[in-house]
Amino acid sequence: MSKQKTPRSLPANEAQAIVRNLRTSPTKLNLVAEMIRGMNVQQALTQLTFSNKRIAQDVKKALQSAIANAENNHNLNVDSLVVKEAWVGKSMVLKRFHARARGRGAQILKPYSHLTIVVRDTQGA
């Protein structure tokens, strides 16, 4: 006997992609995620391609993964996909030490973030 399959948390016309431990602060990542919220996926990919932010390439990969999940796993139409949600969460923080004058030390914080992108098929349902 095996346990019951966990029911799907998203509706049938949505798909998601989650990226864990991106090496940037949640604040900086949220600026890029905010840029694509509510956009058509083709427009969002274009925005991310030409963005000057370093983390935009990782967000683009996550969006492409969400599009591939929608197409291959849930049989959704790629042309009618919209970025429904893009949210950012905190992850771990690496703490480093920087030597300062007179025998003191300063802390360097290197934060990591999580990113979740949900795409929705506007035509299907």
- Whole-prediction pTM value? 0.90
Digit-coded pLDDT (tens) for 54-105: 999 999 999 999 999 999 999 999 999 999 999 999 999 999 999 999 999 9
User: Nearest to residue 86, comparing CAs of 23, 14, 38, 28?
Assistant: 38
Please give the single-letter amino acid code of residue 100.
R
Decide if domain 14-121 falls under CATH 3.90.470.10.
yes
Planar angle of CA 9, 35, 47, nearest 5 degrees? 110
Contact 55/28 with Cβ under 8 angstroms? Answer: yes
